Structure 1
Amino acid sequence: MRSRLRRWRRIAALLGALLVCLPPHLLWKLSGRRSPWPPIFLGLAARAVGVDLLISGVPLTKDVFFACNHVSWMDILALGGATGTAFIAHDGIEKWPVIGWLAAQNNTIFVARERRRGVTEQVDVLRSALREHQPVTLFPEGTTGDGLALLPFKPALFAVMMPPPRDLDVQPVYLDYGSAAAEIAWHGDESAGANATRILGRKGKVRLTLHFLDPFDPEDMPDRKAIAAEVRKRIEARLQPSLVSFPAV
């Protein structure tokens, strides 16, 4: 019963955040200007679902490509609210009711993982987004992990960095849920609905620390694999002692 009450209370808070942010966002879009409301909504949504956010380090505010480990859908709420970043996501999310539309409002870049012929087009979309100066975030693991290990990185989308479309930096980010990581993680055999039900009914808040690590210039790297390896090395250096790292590929 208490779990159900917590779930509905958090859903109500999410809907309240949406009702506050959506009307002014749509007005900004009608005016043809870039709306400041998506990151405001994401920040409010993160708090609504119980994220207690801390920031370590200094996040770059523009001309930056964030690369992060991935644990939960809450990563997107917290990181988007803190930095105003757009995200790279697989195109299946674009078709999700409501969620796909909301993701598009934050300039999410939907990529087709299974269509090789679309790679050039996807790189062009990424370059276009970076030219607009909005931060862009990639989860190079390609999926959520179990919160206890760093999965192999998939360097293919780092191709947008070779050569960089403008003067920008890559900034690795370590998302640290502490001892709650295993509980928060979106497990591979868990449906989206089951995961949301479990997380929204969870007791108490969850502490998430965003560790913004030292950025580097992708022009110093010979290729996309080297960029992925450098990101991985820097995140590995901040992993909790209890966590392990699978070998890079």
Structure 2
Amino acid sequence: MAGFSKALRLLVLVLALVVLIGPQAVGVRAHWAIARRIPVLFHRIALWALGVRVSEIGHPPKETPTLVLSNHVSWLDILVLGSLRPLSFVAKSEIASWPLFGTLARLQRSIFIERERKAATAEVNATIARRLARGELIVLFAEGTTGDGGRILPFRTSLVGAARLALADHRLDAIVLQPLSLVYVRRDGLPLDRRERPEIAWYGDMDLLPHLRGVLGGGPIDVEIRWGAPIPFDAHTDRKRAAARAEDEVRRGLNAGLCRRGEPPAPHPTR
């Protein structure tokens, strides 16, 4: 019976994809407002189909132009964060060419960066700045890669420069850097331990399809979204110090979630 229920949920997810992908594609091209809402609906259906339950702790961003700085654990992060409110992600350019996932990322209006090109950072910063000035919520996985869910990797600060560019080029008074901690806390109602993290976290040289099968084959997943204290960013703010402060906030949120499930605090790397 459980297998039938899971198959039915996945069928609903496929149907939702078929029904929504066309209107979303048209909406993105035509710049319709609904194109910001359709991904939220799709991600909520996807989480329901996959058995992922999300809880929010803290205060989410307000209407101020906001750059969210988050840790990155799994491809599930996109579904989790995308289910909360309209937003876009900064993603590596390789994702754009992935079957299905690349199409979904483009329809999410993701901002792609070619890490190998030195000029790419300036181009992406200009795009982020323009989107921030329009009041969009942009999520930057500031570690630059996925981790194992038990620690925070050092934040890369180059793309935080988009905040300064938005202030300079678009005459904004201030921008907010909003720290966010993703903490995967339970599987099938039981606390996740270190041995079980690879069932959720997708990092290193893990293959995507076997990992996807592992997520589909297990029990419900509980994840906490922990919003940290917002960090005002104006023309006088030091980019690296602001990013370091955000990193500390994200680590603090992760530690709070880990301690709840009985794990020791995440280590603090030497900068």
- When normalised by structure 1's length, the TM-score is 0.89
Q: Does 1:190 align with 2:203?
A: no
Q: Rate the CA distance shift 1:51–1:111 in 2: closer, same or farther, 3 A.
A: same
Q: Could you tell me which residue of structure 2 aligns to residue 227 of structure 1?
A: 242
- Give the Å deviation of 1:184: 0.9
- Specify the code of the residue in structure 2 equivalent to 1:236: R
- Give the Å deviation of 1:19: 2.9
Higher mean C-alpha displacement, 54-63 vs 130-139: 54-63
Aligned mates of 2:210, 2:236 — CA distance in 1: 41
CA offsets 1:144-194 (integer angstroms, 9 cap, x no match): 111121112111111112254333211111111123371311131211112
Q: Rate the CA distance shift 1:12–1:119 in 2: closer, same or farther, 3 A.
A: same
Q: How do 1:129-140 residues align onto structure 2 when only pairs under 5 Å count?
A: 129-140=131-142
Structure 1 contact 7–197 (Cα < 8 Å) conserved: no
Aligned mates of 1:222, 1:29 — CA distance in 2: 34
Q: Rate the CA distance shift 1:114–1:246 in 2: closer, same or farther, 3 A.
A: farther
Q: Does 1:210 align with 2:225?
A: yes
Question: Which one has more relative contact order, counting CA pairs under 8 Å at least 6 apart?
Answer: 1
- Specify the code of the residue in structure 1 equivalent to 2:269: P
Q: Rate the CA distance shift 1:15–1:65 in 2: closer, same or farther, 3 A.
A: same
Q: Does 1:22 align with 2:18?
A: no
Q: Could you tell me which residue of structure 2 aligns to residue 244 of structure 1?
A: 266
Q: Could you tell me which residue of structure 1 aligns to residue 49 of structure 2?
A: 48
Gaps of 5+ in 1: none
Aligned mates of 1:50, 1:126 — CA distance in 2: 32
- In the alignment, which of 170, 179, 183 is matched to residue 177 of structure 2? 170
Higher mean C-alpha displacement, 15-24 vs 100-109: 15-24
Structure 1 contact 89–110 (Cα < 8 Å) conserved: yes
Structure 2 contact 93–113 (Cα < 8 Å) conserved: yes
Compute the RMSD of aligned alpha carbons: 2.3
Aligned mates of 1:100, 1:130 — CA distance in 2: 23
Structure 2 contact 132–166 (Cα < 8 Å) conserved: no
Structure 2 contact 40–83 (Cα < 8 Å) conserved: yes
Structure 1 contact 94–104 (Cα < 8 Å) conserved: yes
SS of corresponding position for 2:21: helix
- Specify the code of the residue in structure 2 equivalent to 1:104: R
Gaps of 5+ in 2: 186-190
Aligned mates of 1:16, 1:121 — CA distance in 2: 37
- Specify the code of the residue in structure 1 equivalent to 2:109: N
Q: Could you tell me which residue of structure 1 aligns to residue 124 of structure 2?
A: 122
Percentage identity across aligned positions?
Answer: 29
- Give the Å deviation of 1:65: 1.0
- Specify the code of the residue in structure 2 equivalent to 1:106: Q
- Give the Å deviation of 1:22: 2.6
- In the alignment, which of 62, 72, 78 is matched to residue 76 of structure 1? 78
CA offsets 1:221-249 (integer angstroms, 9 cap, x no match): 63221121011111222212324234153
Structure 1 contact 123–159 (Cα < 8 Å) conserved: yes
Runs of 4+ in 1 over 4 A off after TM superposition: 5-10
Aligned mates of 1:248, 1:112 — CA distance in 2: 27
- In the alignment, which of 172, 192, 203 is matched to residue 180 of structure 1? 192
Structure 1 contact 221–227 (Cα < 8 Å) conserved: no
Q: Rate the CA distance shift 1:235–1:220 in 2: closer, same or farther, 3 A.
A: farther
- When normalised by structure 2's length, the TM-score is 0.82
- Give the Å deviation of 1:141: 1.0
- Give the Å deviation of 1:201: 1.5
SS of corresponding position for 2:54: strand
SS of corresponding position for 1:217: strand
